[in-house]
A and B are shown apart, each in its own frame.
Chain A
Amino acid sequence: MFIFTLRKLNLFLFTMLLLTILSFSLSFLFPGEQLINISGQINATEQELAILATSYNQEGNIFEQYLAYVFHIFSGDLGVSMSSQTDIAGEIVRLLPATIELSMFAFVIATVIGVPIGFVAAINHNKVTDNVILAVAMIGYSVPVFWLGLLAILTFSIQLGWLPSGGQISLLYEIERPTGFMFIDILVSESPHKWQALQNAYAHIILPAFVIAAAPATVFIRLARSAMLSVLETSYIRATRAKGLSFIQIIFRHAIRNALIKVIQHIGLQFANLVTLAMITEVIFNWPGIGRWLIESIYQRDYTAIQSGLLVLSTFIFIVHIITDYTYAALNPLARGAKYGSR
C-alpha cells in the first residue's frame, strides 16, 4: 500500500506540474497583457503594475516567471476577477462547496439508480426487460442536459408546481454559511426554522440533481450490466450453481459483490463527466456553484477567472480520481500492484 501511495503521489505531482504549466501558458495565449491576464488587475496604476511585475518575476526568464506563478498559487493568490475585482480564491472557496454538494447528490442518485437497474438487465439478459432497459438508457444518454433541464423545470416546476425552479434554497431562510455546504450549514445553524430550511433545500436540489444524474446513470446501467454479465459467465458462479445454491443466493452473495468491484473502477472516471454536466445544469437552475461562475466568466471574457477556475476544477476532478483509485484498491487487493501505465 505504501508503494501504491507513492505512485499516486508521483502521478499527482506530475499532473499538477502539467496543469500549472497549461494554466500559466493560457495567460500568454489570451489576448491582452500577460501580467494583467494573470493577476486580473485591470485598473492598476503604473506603480501597482510595477509591484505586480516584481511579484510575478517579470524580469526573469520564462522558467522563473513560472516559478513565481506557482508560488502565487500555493500562497492562495489566484488573482482577482477582471469583471468584479474580487479575490478569485475567495470566490472559489465560496462556490466550490455548492458544486461538490450538487455533484455528490447527483452521483449518489446515478449510482443508486443506475447500478441496480444494470444488474437487473444483466440478470434478464436478452429478454424484453433487458432490451427495454438498454433502449431507455440509450435515450437517456442521448438527451442533451440543457434540454432535459428546461423540460424538467417546465413539467415539475411550472406545470405541476411540485418543485422550485432554481436556486439552492428559498431566500426566506437566512442561513449562515461557514462551510459553504448547504446541508451542513443548515444543520449547524441556529435558525429557528432549521427543519423547514432543510426540507426546502432538499426540494431545491432534487430537480438539478436528477437532471445531472440522468446521463451518468445510463452509463452506470451499461457498466453494471456488462460487469454482471461477465461475472455470471465465470466458472465460480457455475460452481455455486452446481452446488445447488438458489438463484437469489448466487446473485446476492457472489455475483453482486464481484460485479461491483468492476463497476467502482469505472464509476470514478464518470465523475469528470458528471461535473461537466453539473456546470451546464447550474446555469439552468441558477445554482450558485463554480460551474455557473466559470461559464459567466467565459461570457464576460474574464481571463483571470477562466484560467484559475480551470486549474481548480481540474485539480478537484483529479483528486476525486485518486480517491476512487484508493477505494478501488482497498476493495480489490489485485489492483494495488497494477502500474498506472496499464490503467
Chain B
Amino acid sequence: MKVALSLFTALLLSAALAQGELRLYNWTGYTSQELLQKFEAETGIRVSLDTYDSNETLLAKLKSGATGYDIVVPSHNFVQIFVSEGLLEPIHASEMANYSNIDERWRNPDWDPGNVYTVPWQWGTTSFAVDTALYDGDIDTYEVLFNPPEVFRGRIGMFDSWDEVLPMALRYTGSEICTTDPEAFRRALEVLEAQEPYVKVYTSEGILENMIAGETAMNTYWNGATMRVRAERPTVRYAYPVEGVSGWMDNLALARGAPNKEAALTFINWFLEPENAALQSNFARYANAVSGAEAFMDEPLRTAPEIVPPEGANIIFSPTCPEEYIRLADRVWTRLKQ
C-alpha cells in the first residue's frame, strides 16, 4: 500500500512539474542549447526539446492527436496547411510586447497576415554552392547548374528532393513556381535529364562532407550550411541566380491543445529580444528577423555573403502550392529518378 501511495505521489509530482515544462518540437540540429539554458535561467521555465526531419513529419504528428507539444516550427509554405487543418492556435503576435522588434519587412507576411499564428524564427535561402577553384566564371545563374561546363561532369550534387530542385528547374525554364501546366513540368524534366550525366549523386545527406572532401564541386545547398563548407574549403562560393533564389522562413507557432500555453507565449515573446535571436543565429548560422540582433551576432555572420544577400538579390518566398502542382512534381521526380 505504501509503495502504491508513494508511486501515486511521484506521478502527481511529475505531472505538476510537467505543467511548468515547455515542450518545443523543432527541426533536428536547429536549436541552440545555450538559448534554451538562458531561457530557463531567466524565466525558471524548463524546456524539453523533441525533433523532426520534415514539415510532413510534423504535420502527421500533430494530426495524430494530442502530442503534448507546445511550440512547433513549420516552414512558411506550410503555415497555411497547418492553419487550415486546425493544428495551430492563434498567438496574436502583434499584441506581444516585443512584436515591435520584428524587422518591418518580416511583419505581416503573405503566409500569415497580421502574424496571427506565427512569428519568424530563422530564415535563409536555397541555391547552390560552387568550388571556384574549378570554375571562375559567372555562377549567379542557373545556367551553370543546368548547362554545366565540362569540368563539372560527374562532380555535381543535387538534393534528393523535388521540393527544392524543381523550383530551380522551373525558374530556369521560365515557369512560375506553383504552375500546374504539364508542359512546364515537361520542360523542367528535359532540363534535369540533360543535366544528369553531370550529376554524381542525388542526396540531401552528407553534402557538407561531400563538398569538403571534393567529391562534389557544385552542390545544391542552403546558405548557412554553405558558410560551414567555406570555413573548410575557402574557394567555395554561394550562388544568387538572377532567375530567382528560393527563400524560406521557419516560424514559431503554438500547437493546438498546447498544455503550457502561457510558457509558450512567454518563450515566443522572449525570443524576439535581439540578444536571444542572435544567440540562435550564432548557433544555426542563419539570419533572424529581429531588428538590432546584428549587434550581438558573430562577426563572420554579419558580413558573410551567404547570410547577407547581395544588393538586388532576387529572393522568392514560394506560396503554398496546390495539390495538382505536388502531383505533377512528384511524377516528374520519380520519372527522373527511375
Partners in one complex: no
Chain B interface (Cβ within 8 Å of chain A)? none
